[in-house]
Amino acid sequence: MRRVLLASLPALALLATAPVRAEESPEGLRHAAWQTCLDEAFAEQVRTTSRSFAATKAVTTCRDREEAYLGALAGSPFLDGDDVARIRPALVARARDRLMGERRLSAL
């Protein structure tokens, strides 16, 4: 995991240079749709299961929106498919931790 994060730093630095109104970009819109799906799926699941299972289930439920977001990132001029494949595990772990209310201490 550490190797994934270290290898991803150049790609992540480029993400940080995105325009201020990133939510209006295709990547920003798809990211917002993914986050909304995660939040809604988690809220539905957490009523009847543990927070950990609810977060895992939300990530699984929203896989199509995650793929759309990652596809948009791979199509950007700053990243390619290999970059996205390297950062995907860290992005998913960060999303899951966010749902469970944990802070992730990483470069992401």
Cβ atoms of 95 and 102 within 8 Å: the answer is no
Question: Exposed, middle or buried, 64 (CB in 10 Å: 0-12/13-18/19+)?
Answer: exposed
Percent residues over pLDDT 90 in the chain: 57
CA 67 – CA 37 distance, rounded (Å): 13
Mean pLDDT, the chain, rounded, equals 81
- Which pLDDT score, from 0 to 100, does residue 7 have? 56
Contacts of 43 (CB under 8 A, 6+ apart): none
Digit-coded pLDDT (tens) for 34-83: 999 999 999 999 999 999 999 999 999 999 999 999 999 998 888 888 99
- Which pLDDT score, from 0 to 100, does residue 80 have? 86
Q: Given a cut of 80, is residue 3 above it in pLDDT?
A: no
When pLDDT is cut at 50, 70 and 90, the band that residue 1 belongs to is very low
State both tokens at 39: 């939040």
CA 37 – CA 34 distance, rounded (Å): 5
- Which pLDDT score, from 0 to 100, does residue 108 have? 46
Best mean pLDDT range from 13-22, 24-33, 62-71: 62-71
